[in-house]
Amino acid sequence: MLTHASLAGKRVLVTAGAGGIGRAIAAGFLANGGKVHVCDVAAVDLEAAKQALPGLGGTLADVAKPEDVNRLFDEAEARLGGLDVLVNNAGIAGPTGPIENLQHADWLRTLDVNLNGMFLCLKRAVPLLKQAGGGSIVNLASTAGTFGYPLRTPYAASKWAVVGLTKSLAMELGPDKIRVNAICPGSVEGERIERVIAAEAKARDVTQAVVRESYLRGVSLKTFVTAEEIADMALFVCSDLGAKVSGQALAVDGNTETLAS
């Protein structure tokens, strides 16, 4: 895990921070002396993360709900005393299948969590970052935000939007010394990618092994990535090592060549 002295004392909020990538990022900031508050929609996971990571603060919240986001930021500000870093990590995989078979409600929920949730968090976070004299925003996008992704159109559309949001905000907030970057993970090892593979195998009427092989075939390094490797990139861009990095969509993916099967 990346370590750097400039991360010590950072006041950090990580959405969906009780598991997966979010928990790895939260753990990384804590290990570097940061003060970290997270939210999550799963009470059991949130409590487990707080038990495993001493010093971690947490709020049960769904970032797609304005009232939850307001409560999250009220609690985080009270606990942290301000904000230096926002990690917009919350996101869902969304439905898998041909667009004509998708349900409107599933499309809306994907955009609500993956995009609108970021907007709600940014509205509360930016004034705090300005009060701090600058800071860093990390938005979790995906390689699906830079490539076409058949059968995963809601997810891909939301992640392309995240990249556009990131680049626009980097321009808007640069004069306030606020850096804004997107991290674009490839396929990340864990339960979530297994569910995605299973759903795609069903939609394509092939085995999960066939889908997994097609994912690996589309990556130059022929590998999935880990949550800790994504966390290292987040720590880098929020440290002094990344002081001049802003407006970037940074892939941590072994070089994705295609997401088409």
Note if 155 is an active site residue. Answer: yes
DSSP letter (8 states) at residue 91: -
| Torsion 8-12-17-21 (CA) sign | negative
C-beta neighbour count of 159 within 10 angstroms = 28
Is the distance from CB of 218 to CB of 196 less than 8 angstroms?
A: no
Give the C-alpha separation, 192 to 188, whole Å: 8
Of 29, 73, 155, 236, the active-site residue reads 155
What per-residue string of b and e applies to 211-235 under the rule 16 or more CB within 10 Å gives b?
bbebbeebbeeeebbbbebbbbbbb
The backbone torsions φ and ψ at residue 67, rounded to the nearest 5 degrees and listed phi first, read: -65, -35
Residue in 81, 109, 80 with CA at minimum distance from that of residue 93: 109
Take residue 62 and report the two structure tokens written for it.
Answer: 């769904």
The backbone torsions φ and ψ at residue 47, rounded to the nearest 5 degrees and listed phi first, read: -65, -40
DSSP letter (8 states) at residue 6: G
Take residue 189 and report the two structure tokens written for it.
Answer: 């090892």
Catalytic machinery residues:
155
